[in-house]
């Protein structure tokens, strides 16, 4: 679907320099832009592409002053980088058609409830007493167990599995093969050296506006709930163990593992492959670098950590400068 510069500028409250009626249908990098594309310039090192770019529209920052004439129509905004995320959302919403109704090949329990405008795709199943909110999009081969609640306008992509009793909020996105509510890793050692399984009787509660990447697993609580608060963003391939709580608007990158009963604060940022020990508390706005191991409580808000065991990143860099120069053992 094509959209005009006039519509895009109105969306961003931006200023148009050039033809307001020029139309674009896709986003491209500024170095490869062509007619029908919209590009953006946020990093000055790419400025030279601006003067040769063939795109229909380019988004630039207000403070930027071109040194040469520019052929494409410009849309001037406060922050070009932030505008791109909003632009992609705009184009996606114009292009994406929401479905409604239920596939002939899907199945639902008679006691389940499906909200107005919701969609249930091929070979998906909705269990007893489960509730699907208005406008929810349940794609093919999704399993929704008994007594599950799925909020309004939430999207479950193909292969998602929601175990019994779990709660998913409104406007969430769960990508393919996410598993919500699998048993926590609870086993008690016995005298003969074997392990007895501890029943996992709780559930998972996911609040509104959460996005969960493909193949991520969130375990149900042993008792009570594993809780993912509002606005959390989880990447692909993340393991969240039983009774974990993740605070509002925290973002976590791929291959991170969070052990049982850890409590992670609001607005934290975790890099890839971070390990978090069980039964610890991490303060709000903590940043943890890739491959760090957080083994103890982080009480001070806003700390930045690196290494294993994770320490203040400045201290870690000082230590690294020393140990990388240590003589090799002979």
CATH assignment of the domain containing 288: 2.160.10.10
Do 75 and 138 fall within a single domain?
no
Residue 85: its pLDDT value, please? 79
Do 277 and 244 fall within a single domain?
yes
Write out pLDDT tens, residues 149-158.
Answer: 999 999 999 9
pTM of the complete model: 0.81
The last residue of a domain, from among 95, 113, 131: 95
Mean pLDDT across 204-217: 98
Write out pLDDT tens, residues 44-57.
Answer: 899 999 999 999 99
Do 78 and 132 fall within a single domain?
no
Q: Is the pLDDT of residue 97 over 70?
A: no
Do 164 and 313 fall within a single domain?
yes
Do 82 and 127 fall within a single domain?
no
Do 55 and 107 fall within a single domain?
no
Let me know: does 56 contact 22? Beta carbons within 8 Å: yes
Total domains present in the chain:
2
Do 24 and 56 fall within a single domain?
yes
- Does residue 323 sit within a domain? no
∠ CA 164-208-105, nearest 5°, is 50
Distance CA 222, CA 201 (A): 5
Q: How many CB atoms lie within 10 A of CB 82?
A: 12
Q: Is the pLDDT of residue 330 over 60?
A: no
Give residue for tokens 């016995």. 190
Residue 87's domain is classified under what CATH number? 3.40.1390.10
Burial of 245 (0-12, 13-18, 19+ CB in 10 A): buried
Distance CA 317, CA 306 (A): 8
- Does residue 276 sit within a domain? yes
Do 81 and 224 fall within a single domain?
no
Do 208 and 309 fall within a single domain?
yes
- Does residue 327 sit within a domain? no
Which domain range does residue 12 map to? 3-95
Write out pLDDT tens, residues 136-173.
Answer: 999 999 999 999 999 999 999 999 999 999 999 999 99
Let me know: does 280 contact 297? Beta carbons within 8 Å: yes
- Does residue 324 sit within a domain? no
Structure letter (DSSP) for residue 32 = G
Do 26 and 169 fall within a single domain?
no
List 11, 48, 146, 242, catalytic entry:
242
Q: What is the mean pLDDT of the chain?
A: 94
pLDDT-derived band at 94 (thresholds 50, 70, 90) equals: low
Do 227 and 113 fall within a single domain?
yes
The last residue of a domain, from among 95, 111, 138: 95
- Does residue 325 sit within a domain? no
Mean pLDDT across 272-287: 98
Residue 87: its pLDDT value, please? 80
Q: What is the dihedral of CA 317, 319, 320, 321, to 10 degrees?
A: 90
Do 116 and 7 fall within a single domain?
no
The last residue of a domain, from among 33, 67, 95: 95
Is 48 catalytic? The answer is no
Residue 2: its pLDDT value, please? 81
- Does residue 330 sit within a domain? no
């Amino acid at each position: 679907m094509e959209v005009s510069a006039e519509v895009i500028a109105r969306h961003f409250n931006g200023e148009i320099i050039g033809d307001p009626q020029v139309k674009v249908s896709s986003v491209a990098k500024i170095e490869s832009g062509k007619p029908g594309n919209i590009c953006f310039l946020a990093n000055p090192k790419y400025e030279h592409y601006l003067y040769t770019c063939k795109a229909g529209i380019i988004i630039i920052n207000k403070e930027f002053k071109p040194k040469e004439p520019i052929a494409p129509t410009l849309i001037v905004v406060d922050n070009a980088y932030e505008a791109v995320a909003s632009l992609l959302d705009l184009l996606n919403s114009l292009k994406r058609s929401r479905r409604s109704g239920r596939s002939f090949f899907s199945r639902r329990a008679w006691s389940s409830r499906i909200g107005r405008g919701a969609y249930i795709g091929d070979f998906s199943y909705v269990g007893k007493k489960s509730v699907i909110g208005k406008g929810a999009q349940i794609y093919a081969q999704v399993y929704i167990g008994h007594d599950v609640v799925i909020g309004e306008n939430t999207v479950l992509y193909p292969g998602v599995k929601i175990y019994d009793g779990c709660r998913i909020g409104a406007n969430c996105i769960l990508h393919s093969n996410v598993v919500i509510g699998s048993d926590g890793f609870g086993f008690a050692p016995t005298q003969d050296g074997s392990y007895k399984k501890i029943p996992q009787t709780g559930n998972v509660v996911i609040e509104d506006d959460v996005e969960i990447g493909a193949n991520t697993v969130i375990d149900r609580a042993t008792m009570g709930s594993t809780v993912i608060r509002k606005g959390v963003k989880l990447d692909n391939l993340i393991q969240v163990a039983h009774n974990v709580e993740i605070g509002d608007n925290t973002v976590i990158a791929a291959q991170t593992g969070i052990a049982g009963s850890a409590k992670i604060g609001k607005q934290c940022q975790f890099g890839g492959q971070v390990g978090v020990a069980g039964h610890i508390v991490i303060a709000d706005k903590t940043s943890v670098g890739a491959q760090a191991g957080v083994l103890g409580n982080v009480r001070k808000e806003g700390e930045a950590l690196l290494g294993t065991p994770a320490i203040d990143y400045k201290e870690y860099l000082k230590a690294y400068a020393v140990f990388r120069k240590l003589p090799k053992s002979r």
